[in-house]
Chains A and B, each alone.
Chain A
Amino acid sequence: MGAYLMLITPGVPLLGSFLYTGVYDVPNFGFSCDGWFTNLTPTDAYRGAGRPEASYAIERAMDLLANAVGVGPDEIRRRNYLAGGGEFQDLETASTLVFDSGNYAPNLDAALALSNYDELKAEQARRREAGDDRQLGIGLCTYVEICGLAPSRALAGLNYGAGGWEHALVRMLPTGKVEVVTGSSPHGQGHETSWSMIVADKLGVDPADVTVLHSDTAVSPLGLDTYGSRSLAVGGVALSMACDKVVDKARLIAAHQLEANPDDLEFAAGAFTVKGSPDKTVPIAALGFEAFTAHNLPDGMEPNLQEQVTFDPPNFAFPFGSHVAVVEVETSTGHVELLNYFAVDDCGNQVNPLIVEGQVHGGIVQGVAQALWESAEYDEDGNCKNPSMLDYLVPSAAEMPSMELGFTTTPSTSNPLGVKGVGEAGTIGSAAAVINAVCDALSPYGITDMEMPATPHRVWSAIQQAQNGASA
């Protein structure tokens, strides 16, 4: 844990603890974890926080199991998926968590198809037979993660010290524009864009007419933040629910002014219309002004069109996905090159697919970085040996192939939008996929494990050891 506790230092392994059985049908499960204070830099939540460790453990284990029983890594996974790999909802798992939804086998199939898995296998076989210096490794990871933090009661069980709700307020302004206050605090995740799209979809207004206010306690006093891939699944859902309440109130004003029964009004494309009388219609943007002047509101109605919702989700969300890493290991030097990376993620319904892709790209690079480049190195006295960006190797675009992404869509049952979360999925899937690929490439040497990061020196040393052991 390092020398002292940071925000959620001991909470990180607990968050991962529920996921060590992964996407698999495991009847019994126990978890224990010892935390140790050391004289090193403290640890804390980093993209994925606990779940990359869990997926790494189970996904490495699945490959070892596949080798032990003599079936392919795809087949061992397929045979052990929860619900037989078919679609499920609200499934209780051995760790007592209820997975909201899943449909694992089709997701794996999509990733195998995207990667031309069979062709990769054939190329690998060719290189092995030819004794090529550059051996091909193909690594799978089929992860599930827990996000959308969180039901506040569940956080109580983790001694979390805060709730898991999120707050949203929607104001229909007299100008016809919409102002939104969100408790989620984006710092690059694109909430201004996605939240505007949710509001535009719900209220039938132009996304450009929506202003998203955030990140200032004087403006948005209620909110818990952006972390744990929760913003959309909690904050975005709160916003959509607040929009529903705005529509409900606006419906009463529209019915009053159109002299119709509220139940006889249809709301579509941003306007209320009396069923069967298309000329009797009023846009919701105009009702903001009506609510503001309050000249002609139903008896007893408060002026202004402004609603708020605090959403405390009933359950987490459990995104999943199948990643395929293709590496080339140069056996004469130990150098590992990531040739290609395929990822098919399922984060439920998507609001903005471009932002989803961006999140997956960034997450994958961070996970690959752990597998191949990044590590904090200390000497025996606890001095960090690589405390600058010169020696702590964060990869750049030059080291990454162009990733190929695909998606399946299995809506969540944890919220009315059916959304999950995708901010951390990339890191949760990629470290295991890459190390599985490295081990796959080295399997002819009898090498079954590789410590991260798989540096050239480390990989070369493992090959030397395997060869010397074989000749001894």
Chain B
Amino acid sequence: MIPAPFELVTANSAVEAVAALAEHGDEAKLLAGGHSLIPLMRFRLAAPTVLVDIGGVKDLSYVNDGGDHLAIGALCTHAQVSSASAIVADAPLLAHVAGQIGDPQVRHKGTLGGSIAHGDPASDLPAALLALGATVVVDGPNGSREIPVRELFTGFLETAIGADELVSEVRVPKTGSAPWSFQKFNRRAQDWAIVGVAAVNNGSLGVSLINMGPKPLVAAGVEAAVAGGASAADAASAATEGTDPPSDLNGDAEYRNHLARVLTERALSEAGVA
């Protein structure tokens, strides 16, 4: 439970953070809320030699109106995301999902950018952003670039974000009053989802799955089925296409596949798919 030794570098701005990453290379990790990284370090599943603390960066915690989208600073905590009036009004799925993470202590420390960069397939926020079709802005030594969230997650705890890049902003399309649904199945309120489904029906349908494979997943088969006119029940049967769910104390892969179908059907119905 004791992390390996590391050097702590404090960054006061996004620019300083990117510079620190450039200086220390891929031995460095960014520390924001620490709710994913610190447990990994305590179990020595991660042992970065340099931590770049961006917890004190002031200019990455905002919610701006970008016209057709909301621009959300990466250091917004889950509590901020769940309660920001602009997000509640224009991206209600995201606000709702952020309010379901862990417990109040977790929600006041964990950050939106941290959750994305960690890329945990069992986390809620990546699924919400996949369903919403969000875009992530990352800052690197050569400036900023945009990555669609649907191209972001590449493998187990692996993303398209470079070791020298920092998630600075998340751009979330406004969905207004479009119907949406979030189905989180767990045994206790504070736990990760055993399986979860996020759906938003904003002209086209976005559906994503939590904890159904090595990375956050889009339920592409379901989206295609609905686009082709399938009913909620029929489309839900495609929920397990391309999934590779884990087996653990909470259930085996077969059970997770079953849950994915049940929860997807509920999500589709709630999101207005007949």
Contact = CB atoms under 8 A, between A and B. Distances in A.
A456 B251 CA distance: 8
A385 B259 CA distance: 23
A386 B248 CA distance: 10
B249 A398 contact: no
Contact of B255 (A386, A398, A460): A460
Interface stretch (B84-92, B141-149, B188-196, B204-212): B188-196
A332 B188 contact: no
A373 B187 contact: yes
Interface string B168-196: 00000000000000000101111100100
Contacts of B258: 333, 460
Contacts, number: 41
B46 to A, nearest CB: 17
B49 interface: no
A461 B255 contact: yes
A333 B189 contact: no
A32 interface: no
A463 to B, nearest CB: 11
Contact of B249 (A333, A386, A395): A386
Contacts of B259: 333
Contact of A457 (B103, B190, B191, B251): B251
B154 interface: no
A7 B252 CA distance: 38
Main secondary structure of the interface of B (DSSP, over half): loop
Given A333-B262, A456-B194, A385 B249 contact: yes
A393 interface: yes
Contacts of A391: 249
A344 B231 CA distance: 49
Contact of A396 (B190, B255, B262): B190
Main secondary structure of the interface of A (DSSP, over half): loop
B250 interface: yes
B188 A457 contact: no
Interface string A278-310: 000000000000000000000000000000000
Given A332-B262, A333-B259, A460-B255, A373 B188 contact: yes
A256 interface: no
A461 B252 CA distance: 11
A377 B189 contact: no
B117 to A, nearest CB: 21
A248 interface: no
B251 A398 contact: no
Contacts of A349: none
Contact of B188 (A377, A385, A399, A461): A399
B188 A398 contact: yes
Contacts of B103: 396
A310 B190 CA distance: 48
Contacts of A395: 188
A333 B190 contact: no
A457 B185 contact: no
A153 B252 CA distance: 52
Nearest to A394: B188
B190 A377 contact: no
A396 B188 contact: yes
A393 B190 CA distance: 10
A448 interface: no
A395 to B, nearest CB: 6
Contact of B185 (A335, A372, A399): A335
B82 to A, nearest CB: 16
Contact of A456 (B187, B189, B252): B187
B15 to A, nearest CB: 37
Given A333-B185, A377-B249, A460-B255, A398 B190 contact: yes
A455 interface: yes
Contacts of A386: 249
Contacts of A398: 188-190
Contacts of B190: 396, 398
A67 to B, nearest CB: 28
Contacts of B187: 372-373, 393, 455-456
Contacts of B262: 332-333
Interface string A350-394: 000000000000000000000011000100000001100001010
Contact of B250 (A372, A455, A461): A455
A215 to B, nearest CB: 31
Contacts of A333: 185, 258-259, 262
A230 B249 CA distance: 38
Interface string A451-463: 0000111001100
Nearest to B262: A332
Contacts of B251: 455-457
A333 to B, nearest CB: 6
Contacts of B255: 457, 460-461
23 contacts: A332-B262, A333-B258, A333-B259, A333-B262, A335-B185, A372-B187, A373-B187, A377-B249, A385-B249, A391-B249, A393-B187, A396-B103, A396-B188, A396-B189, A398-B189, A398-B190, A399-B189, A456-B194, A456-B251, A457-B250, A457-B252, A460-B255, A461-B255
Interface of A: 332-333, 335, 372-373, 377, 385-386, 391, 393, 395-396, 398-399, 455-457, 460-461
Interface of B: 103, 185, 187-191, 194, 249-252, 255, 258-259, 262
Given A396-B103, A398-B188, A460-B258, 12 more contacts: A332-B262, A333-B259, A333-B262, A373-B188, A393-B191, A395-B188, A396-B189, A399-B189, A455-B187, A456-B185, A456-B187, A457-B251
